[in-house]
Chain A
Amino acid sequence: MALAATVRRGLREQMCCGLLTQQLRGLAGSAAAAQSAAVAAAEAAAPSENAAAAGPSVKMNLCTAVNDALHIAMEENSKTLCFGEDVAFGGVFMCSRGLQERYGRDRVFNTPLSEQGIVGFAVGAAAEGYRPVAEIQFADYIFPAFDQITNEAAKYRFRSGGQYDVGGLTIRTPYGAVGHGGHYHSQSPEAFFTHIPGIRVVMPSGPREAKGLLLASIRCPDPVVFFEAKMLYRTAVEQVPEGDFEIPLGKARVAQEGEDITLVGWGQQVRVLELAAWEVAERDGISCEASVHKTGRLLVSHEAPVTSGFGAEVVSTIADRCFWSLEAPPARVCGYDTPFPLVFEPLYLPTVARLTDAIRATVAAK
């Protein structure tokens, strides 16, 4: 898990970059799981990431970063496949542009509109040792495939006593608010998937993380559901390392150091947290940071509805590990417990204004 930051200057320039990475399953599942958000943060910025960051980089948006990662994954291993609805033409967001021309129709192809079939097909190919990167056109469409993910993919290794696995499987899917997507093109369904033992859930917060985490996900020996923030496809632009580059799964990234409160988020909500951190730093002198042991105060934020969202897991883990350091009740600023609305999207979202209110209240709590 990760945090936003003190950010006393320059945040406006960085706001689209997304500072926080998140490999959600890591918190509850694997070895990295053992790290609470706060503890993990202390270990963030893994060496490989820093090393890669020092190399040459190029300016990319999130869509281009995903495309770049897919090209690398296709190039390095002929068993990597890309398929989904309209993927051969580049996909509805153009993330798979150029792949079919370069790698051919037998590795990059369109599927019928059949989400359950797409994932089932991908699970079968992965069980045969292929590395399918299956696209579900919107995260809102993933539910017909839910059974294949939770019952087939996630349990394959366990139920075969380790004889089979579908570690080659990566399911890419765009998620999140986009301004006018309405009920079926805006949802953030990550918490349904973090509840599944056996898969990993990854939600990058910017182009750099998108590339590094997607390559790590495709190579990861476990099946991965990879949520891409579609609002950031074009709007988030930053320097991304050229060539092969990986960000390890399961490690949080500390955006900034500070003293007063710990902010945790993932995906495109990181960007909103950064803006809130900037505002309270400028106006209130509140500095935001990673370790709850240090700050004693925690705020978690996500677009998904608050009840049973992944924020609840973060708060629970912090309460477990940092209980004696807490100075205030942990706060959650999330979507309301309503369907994702169309005309009410601005009211529904956990905006900067709602965040700064909660930051101030939490910091003021005695």
Chain B
Amino acid sequence: MELLKLEIVTPNGVIFDKDVKQVTLPGSEGEFGVLARHASLVSLLTTGVIVIETKENKTIAVAINSGYVKVDEEKTTCIVDGAVALDAEDNDISKALESAKELLKSTEASNVAIASAITKVEQMAKIL
């Protein structure tokens, strides 16, 4: 399967920069998935969860508050304000889950959006 280059940048630096199989993003107009060779696109991101499928077939969830994404043929760049990653390799997933929830709660998005994002994060944490 072809891979795409994904980069997630926060004000605290680059937190993710790898080749992945697929990424699902919480766009302001709805969730959408990006595979390799996706057409160029720019979108606003809202409070939600970025789900990454790595080339080792692992899943990583990244909770974000808001940001932008730019997709072009070469790579996908997410510019987000705040992000907390839930990684299966991480030993302390419950702690990461807590901080992810905190981040989601602190946003200005509507309660519904926050609630659904939190549910999603919890689900992801269970799978991981």
Q: Do A and B bind each other?
A: no
A residues engaging B (CB < 8 A)? none
